[in-house]
Amino acid sequence: MSAAHSNPRSALAQVIAVMPRDMALLFQGLGNDLLHELEEIRLRAGQPLELCLRQRSAFVAESGELTSSPHRGVRVSADELAQVLQRLTQFSRYAVEEDARHGYVTLPGGHRVGIAGRAVVEAGRVRAFRHVTSLNVRISRDHPGAASAILPVLYDRVSRRPLSALIVSPPQCGKTTLVRDVARQFSYGDLAPDHPGLKVVVIDERSEIAGSVDGIPQFDLGPRADVLDGCPKAEGMMMAIRSLSPHVVVTDEIGRMEDAEAVLEASLAGVAVVATAHAASIDAWRRRPWMERLFASRAFDRYVVLSRRRGPGTVEAVLDAEGRPLRRGGAEAR
């Protein structure tokens, strides 16, 4: 295991590897400062290549410079897009079929690539995408220590056990980065000086938390972490509880009925669950089907609300099991 992606160029290496040669050369010409700020690469057929940086977005000109003018940006051809898609799927659409059905493919290293195009619908469900017209590459980065600020509230010093927590925010606020660092710090035992560390099972349905390649995590998750890579969350949680005896189960983006049931089951089994969910606030999250039941059952001891107000990972609030604030303020987790 390695602390992947501390260097912006190595973070991008797996992304550049799927780009056509000319496009890859443009990325190689970008400076390190810029790469540090890079959050998304947007490829749209017939449109200029767009980079979304931390505070702004820009197009890449033929000279390799960034420009705000779309007319000066290098246009992405349909052929180039098809080539990127072929490389993304490793020339094996069958292998990413389930993910692609949900509109994304995950690259080695945990970079998620969103897909847009014409959906092929069968029996009312999206079966695949053909005529792909846009790809959105979300750059995944590792920030060791990102969870240090919230770790004390995720651990009960009296009972010496980890607490279940849900990390809530809109997209791109650093939920996955935070949850990855929670897993790592629990696994290393960074909770208290005399704490030996906890057995952590990461249910990584979309390969974003561990960024596994051929099942091997590319991010450092510590010495006591087991990863169920590509495994559906609900099924993975039950498998972990039955066979891996975890202290903590860590997973990303819960939202379905079966996820809620698995979280409940874990909490009843005495296993802490640290999960994330897309929502602007706890109230908004509770309005989702099945989630109110989860809230009412007090399956989570803590709710952490994130935003981008002071950059990704800004902790807006930490709430207890009943939704009452433990503390408030703009502390930055990372």
**Residue in 75, 87, 161, 247 binding other proteins, rule: CB under 8 A:** 87
Amino acid at 118: R
Between residues 41 and 277, which has the closer beta carbon with respect to other proteins? 41
13 scored as a contact of other proteins (CB under 8 A): no
Q: Single out the segment in contact with other proteins by CB under 8 A; choices: 63-71, 81-89, 285-293, 310-318.
A: 81-89
Sign of CA dihedral 131, 136, 140, 141: positive
Binding to other proteins (CB under 8 A) within 223-282 occurs at none
Sign of CA dihedral 252, 258, 261, 265: negative
Encoding tokens for residue 252? Answer: 């990303």
16 scored as a contact of other proteins (CB under 8 A): yes
Between residues 53 and 213, which has the closer beta carbon with respect to other proteins? 213
**Residue in 91, 171, 193, 270 binding other proteins, rule: CB under 8 A:** 91
Q: Please tell me the distance from the alpha carbon of residue 80 to that of residue 72, in angstroms, as a whole number.
A: 18
Strands 272-278 and 248-251: parallel
17 scored as a contact of other proteins (CB under 8 A): yes
Cα distances from 182 to residues 32, 96, 153, in angstroms, run 27, 28, 11
Binding to other proteins (CB under 8 A) within 143-202 occurs at none
Binding to other proteins (CB under 8 A) within 18-47 occurs at 18-21, 24
**Residue in 6, 28, 57, 86 binding other proteins, rule: CB under 8 A:** 86
Q: Please tell me the distance from the alpha carbon of residue 213 to that of residue 102, in angstroms, as a whole number.
A: 20
Between residues 128 and 331, which has the closer beta carbon with respect to other proteins? 128
**Residue in 32, 55, 71, 92 binding other proteins, rule: CB under 8 A:** 92
**Residue in 6, 10, 77, 90 binding other proteins, rule: CB under 8 A:** 90
Measured over all CA atoms, what is the biggest interatomic distance in the chain, rounded to whole angstroms? 62
Least CB distance to other proteins at residue 292 (A)? 36
Strands 272-278 and 165-169: parallel
117 scored as a contact of other proteins (CB under 8 A): no
Encoding tokens for residue 213? Answer: 């390649």
Encoding tokens for residue 117? Answer: 């195009």
Q: Strand, helix or coil at 111? A: coil
For residue 17, give the DSSP letter: T
Least CB distance to other proteins at residue 284 (A)? 36
**By the criterion CB under 8 A, which residues form the site for other proteins?**
16-21, 24, 83, 86-87, 89-97, 127-128, 214
